[in-house]
Amino acid sequence: MIFHSLATTDFTLLGTPLTWAFSIVLVTVTAVLSFIIWKRSEKQRGVGAVELLRLLFVSLVALMFNQPECRTTIAPDARPTVAILLDGSLSMDTKDVKVSTEDRKTTSEQRNSRWDLISPLTDASAWTAANEDYEIKVETFATTTPQTEPLTETPVASRPPAAQESDIAAAIISASDRLAPRAIVVVSDGDWNAGQAPADAAVQMRIKGIPTFTVPVGSVIPQPDLKIESFQPPTFSVLGKPVRIPFRIASTLSTQESVSVRLKTSSGKTFTQSITLSPMSEQSGHFLLTPDREGEQTLTLSITELPVETDLDYNEMMAQMNVRPEELDVLVIESSPRWEYRFLRNALMRDPGVKVDCLLYHQKADQRSEETGYLATFPESSELSRYDVIFLGDVGISSSQLSEEDANAIFQHVASQAAGLVIMPGFQGYQQTLIDSPLTPLFPVEMNQSQPRGWGSTIPGRFELTELGAKSLLTRLADKERENAKLWNELPGFQWYAGVVRARPGSQVLAVHSMDANEHGRFPLIVTKTFGTGKVLFMGTDTAWRWRKGVEDLYHYRFWGQVARWMSYQRNLASGKGLRLFYSPERPVEGDTVTLNANVMGTSGEPLREGAVNVEVISPSDERSLARLQSSQMDGWGLFTGTTQPTEPGEHRIIVSVPETGATLETSLIVTPAARERVGDPANHESLIETAQLTDGRVIRQPTAEAILAAIGELPQPEPIIQRLRIWAHPAWVFSLIGLAIILWLARKRVGTI
DSSP character string of 277-310:
E-TTEEEEEEEEE---S-EEEEEEEEEPPPTT-S
What would the pLDDT profile of 656-678 be if each residue is shown by its tens digit?
998 888 888 888 888 887 766 77
CA dist 435 and 454 (Å) reads 15
Residue closest to 473 by CA, chosen among 341, 289, 344, 294: 289
Looking at residue 655, its pLDDT comes to: 93
The rounded percent of the chain whose pLDDT value lies above 90 is 32
- What confidence tier does 637 reach under pLDDT thresholds 50, 70, 90? low
The pLDDT of residue 365: 61
Over the stretch 298-328, which tens digit does the pLDDT of each residue have?
999 999 888 888 778 889 998 888 888 877 8
CB hemisphere CA count around 608 (13 angstroms): 25
Residues in the chain: 754
Contact status, residue 530 vs residue 508, Cβ threshold 8 Å: no
Whether residue 29 contacts residue 98, with contact meaning beta carbons closer than 8 Å, is answered with no
pLDDT (tens digit per residue) in 340-375:
999 999 888 888 788 899 999 877 666 565 666 888
Name the strands in the sheet holding 579-584, side by side, starting at the edge strand that comes first in the sequence.
574-576, 579-584, 594-600, 639-644, 624-631, 613-618, 650-658, 663-671
Strand (E) positions, 171-279?
183-188, 212-216, 226-231, 236-238, 243-251, 257-265, 270-277
Comparing 44-58, 718-732, 738-752, the range with the smallest average pLDDT is 718-732
Beta-bridged to residue 83, according to DSSP, are: 137, 184
Strands 624-631 and 594-600: unpaired
Tell me: the pLDDT tens digits for 117-136?
A: 998 898 888 888 877 778 88
CA angle 619, 673, 226 (to 5 degrees): 155
pLDDT class for 397, splitting at 50, 70, 90?
A: very high
Angle formed by the axes of helices 339-349 and 554-568, to 10°? 70
Q: Which amino acid is at 735?
A: F
